[in-house]
Amino acid sequence: MLSDDPSWWRSAVIYQVYIRSFADGSGDGIGDIAGIRSRLPYLAGLGVDALWINPWYPSPMADGGYDVSDYRAVEPVFGSLDDATALIREAHEHGLRVLLDLVPNHTSDQHAWFQAALATPPGSPERARYLFRDGRGPAGDEPPNDWRSVFGGAAWTREPGPSGQWFLHLFAPEQPDLDWTNPEVRADVEQTLRFWFDRDVDGFRIDVAHGLIKAEGLPDLGDAADPTTSRRAKDHPHWDRDAVHEVYQSWRTVADSYDPPRVFVAEAWVTNPERLAAYVRPDELHTAFNFDFLRAPWLAPALRRTIDATLRDHAVVGAPATWVLSNHDVARHVSRYARPQSDRPLHSLQDLVGVPGDLDLGRRRAAAAALLMLALPGGAYVYQGEELGLEEVEDLPDEVLADPTWERSEHTDRGRDGCRVPLPWAGDAPPYGFGTSAWLPQPAGWAARTPQAQAGVEGSFLELYRSALTLRRDHPALGDGALQWLPSVEQVLLFRRSPGFGCLVNLSDVPVALPSGARLLLSSAPLVDGLLLSDAAAWLELAD
């Protein structure tokens, strides 16, 4: 059963289910709702508090379901609306809350609205839900401005119809951007919120929460056009504009009108923790993914800086921080940590290509990072398979790549499929109990990584996550609250959570002693002669 704590989200550990790759119940090689339902005991046994399920709505899948053609239905490949409501009910019975994924910045080009827009002339109310503009140049055959798509190429596509207008898509051309100055757009999305809240969904993750509002007149990016600086530029014409906050104030009113109140988490890629904190002011969204932590290298000063800035800026607005190591958009952290670490953040598979890595080292660091993350104040996210120690699949054959990045980058960027490979559950060979087949090929080495192989095995990744999550749930010091740094040698992090808890993380290249008087609760690697090895972390009982 669900806890009745209305502040559950301030300390929650939320497990991200990338539905297509989680578990296949129907036998078509694609994960689905039946698969999730069959694995609820596993998720409850892991000790997480909630699930966030990536988009499960009808979609042509031009971008893994982030191109939604109907927000108030379920994609038949994943199941039916009845399956969805059964899943929500059963998850609740297992004590797990359910967050869905809302995609408000853009629809699919197959959405009825976009089809209606294409069928009507310039100036129609149907077109006014999107950002259609005339092109530049005497023949109107140049894009209306210089904005770039996140997936590569121009952010504008000329419509095939007689008007010759262009439409904006910050992502793929199959994902036209909505015009958030249009009250009809605002009202419709609120109706979607209510539709799912009425079906007992506990909240939403907000896709591209920093992108909804565009600067009036859609001015050129100019200097900010360089893709490496565009997210950082001040007063950027389409990222993190102040007016976006009004939208979230309005959604908060909707969420608060439910009993129990529903919650939001923002996907907002912004310049710094201070800008992020603005999204989680008391009358806006509840939490936001902390991508600075995800992007921080495995170096003590960088991690400490990120932790301090995050906690400081969240405290100002009274919101809990969240901590994330991986998700479906970035290379799995085992593989990032397997590489030499420097202040240049490693992010996507593209950053790893050609850089030799040591996966054993990456796994040791990932295990230590899990203990660090789960000891920090606030909530945390676990991306499916992270609890198994899965690595990025770096050698998927070209012909199976499905991420639009691959095509849009003219085959120079392999995109995000490597972190979306179907989960291995059991057995010695692919598809490892995922179903009867798997939509992306799984590596030969994953037999050792299945829950079946790891369950009950001391020292396994899975057992480390289970022990940490159980301890975290029972320990009064963990979850929401404060942190106090204690003196430590260079490249070692040591902090206290009261009452009576300490976390020691050794990022140096020599073993370190536990603080005096400490008693070991859990460690990511066995102590040797009472010392904590390099790239290991320990949870401690530590007097206040």
Considering the complex, what minimum distance in angstroms separates the CB of residue 171 from ligand NOJ?
A: 4
207 contributes a contact to ligand NOJ by CB under 6 A:
yes
Q: Give 364 or 420: the residue with its C-beta nearer to ligand NOJ.
A: 420
Considering the complex, what minimum distance in angstroms separates the CB of residue 384 from ligand NOJ?
A: 14
Q: Give CA 163 to chain center in angstroms.
A: 39
Considering the complex, what minimum distance in angstroms separates the CB of residue 381 from ligand NOJ?
A: 12
Q: Give 33 or 170: the residue with its C-beta nearer to ligand NOJ.
A: 170
Closest by alpha carbon to 9, among 48, 43, 39, 35?
A: 48
171 contributes a contact to ligand NOJ by CB under 6 A:
yes
Considering the complex, what minimum distance in angstroms separates the CB of residue 279 from ligand NOJ?
A: 15
Q: Give 327 or 488: the residue with its C-beta nearer to ligand NOJ.
A: 327
Considering the complex, what minimum distance in angstroms separates the CB of residue 151 from ligand NOJ?
A: 8
Closest by alpha carbon to 147, among 129, 165, 159, 131?
A: 131
User: Interface residues for ligand NOJ in 484-503 (CB under 6 A)?
Assistant: none
126 contributes a contact to ligand NOJ by CB under 6 A:
no
383 contributes a contact to ligand NOJ by CB under 6 A:
no
User: Interface residues for ligand NOJ in 240-279 (CB under 6 A)?
Assistant: 267
Task: Kindly tell me which residue out of 36, 68, 208, 321 binds ligand NOJ, with binding defined by CB under 6 A.
Answer: 208
66 contributes a contact to ligand NOJ by CB under 6 A:
yes
Burial of 437 (0-12, 13-18, 19+ CB in 10 A): middle
CA–CA separation, 353 vs 331, rounded Å? Answer: 11
Considering the complex, what minimum distance in angstroms separates the CB of residue 64 from ligand NOJ?
A: 6
Total binding residues for ligand NOJ by CB under 6 A? 10
Q: Are 63 and 404 in contact (CB under 8 A)?
A: yes
Considering the complex, what minimum distance in angstroms separates the CB of residue 66 from ligand NOJ?
A: 3
Sole window of 58-66, 156-164, 287-295, 305-313 interacting with ligand NOJ (rule: CB under 6 A): 58-66
Sole window of 13-21, 59-67, 78-86, 275-283 interacting with ligand NOJ (rule: CB under 6 A): 59-67
168 contributes a contact to ligand NOJ by CB under 6 A:
no
Got the DSSP string for 187-229? HHHHHHHHHHHTTT--EEEETTTT-S---TT----GGGGSTTT
CA–CA separation, 26 vs 35, rounded Å? Answer: 8
Q: Give 107 or 310: the residue with its C-beta nearer to ligand NOJ.
A: 107
Task: Kindly tell me which residue out of 103, 212, 368, 525 binds ligand NOJ, with binding defined by CB under 6 A.
Answer: 103
Got the DSSP string for 458-484? TT-HHHHHHHHHHHHHH-TTSSSS--E
Q: Give 16 or 145: the residue with its C-beta nearer to ligand NOJ.
A: 16
Q: Give CA 379 to chain center in angstroms.
A: 13
CA–CA separation, 418 vs 21, rounded Å? Answer: 11
Sole window of 60-68, 217-225, 226-234, 422-430 interacting with ligand NOJ (rule: CB under 6 A): 60-68
Shortest Cβ contact with ligand NOJ: which residue?
66
Q: Give 69 or 460: the residue with its C-beta nearer to ligand NOJ.
A: 69
Task: Kindly tell me which residue out of 49, 292, 329, 413 binds ligand NOJ, with binding defined by CB under 6 A.
Answer: 329
542 contributes a contact to ligand NOJ by CB under 6 A:
no
Q: Give CA 197 to chain center in angstroms.
A: 21
Q: Give 207 or 313: the residue with its C-beta nearer to ligand NOJ.
A: 207
Q: Give 404 or 479: the residue with its C-beta nearer to ligand NOJ.
A: 404
Q: Give 113 or 495: the residue with its C-beta nearer to ligand NOJ.
A: 113
Considering the complex, what minimum distance in angstroms separates the CB of residue 174 from ligand NOJ?
A: 11
Considering the complex, what minimum distance in angstroms separates the CB of residue 189 from ligand NOJ?
A: 14
Considering the complex, what minimum distance in angstroms separates the CB of residue 328 from ligand NOJ?
A: 6
Task: Kindly tell me which residue out of 24, 49, 63, 535 binds ligand NOJ, with binding defined by CB under 6 A.
Answer: 63
User: Interface residues for ligand NOJ in 134-163 (CB under 6 A)?
Assistant: none
Considering the complex, what minimum distance in angstroms separates the CB of residue 167 from ligand NOJ?
A: 16
**Contacts for 221 with CB less than 8 Å, ≥ 6 apart:** 145, 146, 147, 148, 230, 233, 236, 237
CA–CA separation, 48 vs 33, rounded Å? Answer: 18
Considering the complex, what minimum distance in angstroms separates the CB of residue 470 from ligand NOJ?
A: 30
Cα separation values, 115 from 120, 230, 365, 508, Å: 9, 31, 49, 57
CA–CA separation, 83 vs 79, rounded Å? Answer: 6
SS3 270: coil
Burial of 492 (0-12, 13-18, 19+ CB in 10 A): middle
Considering the complex, what minimum distance in angstroms separates the CB of residue 180 from ligand NOJ?
A: 15
Sole window of 63-71, 159-167, 193-201, 330-338 interacting with ligand NOJ (rule: CB under 6 A): 63-71
DSSP state of 392: P
Q: Give 169 or 449: the residue with its C-beta nearer to ligand NOJ.
A: 169
Q: Are 369 and 298 in contact (CB under 8 A)?
A: yes
Cα end-to-end span (Å), the chain: 34
Closest by alpha carbon to 68, among 18, 100, 110?
A: 110
Q: What is Dmax (Cα atoms) for the chain? A: 78
Retrieve residue 349's tokens: 């598979």
99 contributes a contact to ligand NOJ by CB under 6 A:
no
Residue 380: strand pairing partners? 13, 323
Got the DSSP string for 427-465? SSSTTTTSSSS-SSPPPGGGGGGSHHHHTT-TT-HHHHH
SS3 75: coil
Applying CB under 6 A, the residues found at the interface with ligand NOJ are 63-64, 66, 103, 171, 207-208, 267, 328-329
